[in-house]
Structure 1
């Protein structure tokens, strides 16, 4: 058995359902993989998923496309490659409370945003505000990553970036009203998140990439065909403080944005290229990145 580790991009949630289903049903084991799923709660998100690959803590990680761009523009770059996309459509949004009087992104001028401190994140938010007619004068806050959602609920920050199929469902069940701004509505051709990534130069990992993707795909397809059982599996891994979330609503919102077939995880190359072009055009990144350097469909 080959010992492999996958670092999650967030605490266990609906985007990860296929991994846990595969783990519980021994789909990885059937292909000779002993998989450990690494929860960011273990270190309070002190080390990012991609950094865990760099430090040889894990072999695979989940992260947004921007992380791949970032690692390919560093002086001592790590040859990270995206090998599968979990969602085929962007389910993220910027969230504000209804009583904040922030009616569109331009109203974020002079307001606060709780940032995950990712390399391009603040630039993207500024550009969203500018695209809506604002100046981009946002006050960026950097709280503990796992406490970011609480800064909105407790009114310690005006805005942040969430997944509609997780925090968005939590928000809908609170007495607080919320308002959401999607990237695509403000001329931002956002790419894939989360993406399964690994080190292309680590041949010991690449050797098992096909098997890892095959087993993961099987879990996601199984979750599509066996909703109730799969949600019960996922529920076992969700943090105690999120146990009351309506998993059925999370599932129903996610299902149309996930690929459930032989093309599970496949990237639309043109979509990624459009995002790269947008990043370059808006001078968020000066270096030219080739799309084939950061993603591949070879392991699908």
Structure 2
């Protein structure tokens, strides 16, 4: 459901000259001198991870608070560097991306300010006929791999905790963009975000086995995706940030209560998105955007720090982060 970046540490070299990329979407009738311009850079093409922001545009929630919000698709290399450099106000990112960014040789001054989906809805998907109903059974199978240390560390742990030998998994370098087609070739298993690709396989009538990471080990219930911004921006624009998150939260609450209407709004702003898939995905994510929480967007400090402890122990970040890298202070109180 999102594009994994091949390198999380190369972003800081890609800051300059990236602002003009992608196709912007903003609210009709806004942009007068009294409104404050806010740019949001997505992580990938528009999808149901982003619906709450499109709802806030369509329903005028941003406009009501004096914001002229523009949503843009990302540059090659990702969006996080843009907010770090002050070239955009907000970006869709992931906890597993923010950690390396904070601990790089040239750290990015960024922070997560809201969880878009409360729990990790990713895992390993395969056709049921392959019989991969536990991680150990990935042995001897062709797994489509992004070939990143982060991915290999998670896969190694879940396979070995299940009594398997990760070295026996056939890693096939492949950035899958069409899971349905890939699973019907020589690819046996792939990492998916179930709210999009898993739902798509259901609509296609494919019988599948799905291994959710958060069920295999609670450490892997990390926050992916999140909304992130630059620390300097927050210091200088506290009230604007609060307004943006207030309207955005309202958009996601609407999507939770009205998934079919929210899907129609997403497709209106991104007509390349299939309405049937968007609707089914919205119905799935209506139960996941805030899950059991009372309020959309809040991040649990224990889950956040536990995952960063794991990243540090697996040499995926160069120093401990504990509870660094997020704040709930700008969400509606």
Band the TM-score falls in, shorter-chain normalisation: 0.7 to 0.9
1:114 counterpart = 2:148: no
Q: Judging changes above 3 Å, is the alpha-carbon distance between structure 1 residues 169 and 277 closer, same or farther for their aligned structure 2 residues?
A: same
Tell me, which stretches of 5 or more residues in structure 1 are unaligned?
Answer: none
TM-score by length of 2: 0.78
The answer to whether the aligner puts 1:288 opposite 2:320 as a matched pair is yes
Q: What is the correspondence of 1:237-248 to structure 2 with a 5 Å cutoff?
A: 237-238=269-270, 240=272, 242-245=274-277, 247=279
Structure 2 residue corresponding to 1:15, chosen from 39, 49, 60: 49
Instruction: Check 1:218–1:47 CA distance in 2 against 1; reply closer, same or farther (3 A cut).
Output: same
Shift of residue 91, structure 1, vs aligned partner: 1.8
Cα distance between partner residues in 1 of 2:192 and 2:249:
25
Q: 1:59 aligns with which of 83, 89, 97?
A: 89
C-alpha displacement of 1:189: 1.6
Note if contact 1:79-1:200 (Cα within 8 Å) is conserved in structure 2: yes
Query: Are the aligned partners of 1:115 and 1:160 in contact in 2 as well (CA < 8 Å)?
Result: yes
Residue 253 of structure 2 aligns to a residue whose secondary structure is helix
The number of residue pairs the alignment matches comes to: 293
Correspondence for 1:250: 281
Of the three residues 254, 264, 269, the one matched with 1:222 is: 254
Q: Structure 1 residue 48 and structure 2 residue 70: aligned?
A: no
Q: 1:112 to 1:205 in 2, by over 3 A?
A: farther
Does 1:171 pair with 2:201?
A: yes
Pick aligned residue for 1:265 from 293, 297, 302: 297
Q: Any gaps of 5 or more consecutive residues in structure 2?
A: 1-34
Q: Retained in 2: the 8 A contact 1:132–1:186? A: no
272-281 or 235-244, larger mean C-alpha shift: 235-244
For residues 322 and 90 of structure 2, the distance between their equivalents in structure 1, rounded to whole angstroms, comes to 22
Say which structure, 1 or 2, has more relative contact order (CA 8 Å, 6+ apart). 1
Q: Are 1:75 and 2:105 an aligned pair? A: yes
Q: Structure 1 residue 179: deviation in Å?
A: 1.0
| Structure 1 residue 37 corresponds to structure 2 residue 67 | no
CA distance in 2, matches of 1:18, 1:198: 17
Alpha-carbon contact 1:84-1:265 (below 8 Å) kept:
yes
Q: Deviations over 1:204-262 (max 9, x none)?
A: 55552211101101111223344443222122234536344161x32332222223987
The range that moved more, 111-120 or 273-282, is 111-120
Offset of residue 177 of structure 1: 2.1
How many Å separate the matches in 1 of 2:210 and 2:192? 9
Report the more deviating stretch, 80-89 or 6-15.
6-15
Q: Distance in 2 between matches of 1:227 and 1:151?
A: 27
The 1:61–1:140 alpha-carbon spacing in structure 2 relative to 1, beyond 3 Å, is: farther
Kindly state the Cα deviation for residue 52 of structure 1 after the two structures are TM-superposed. Answer: 3.7
Separation in 1, partners of 2:91, 2:149: 17
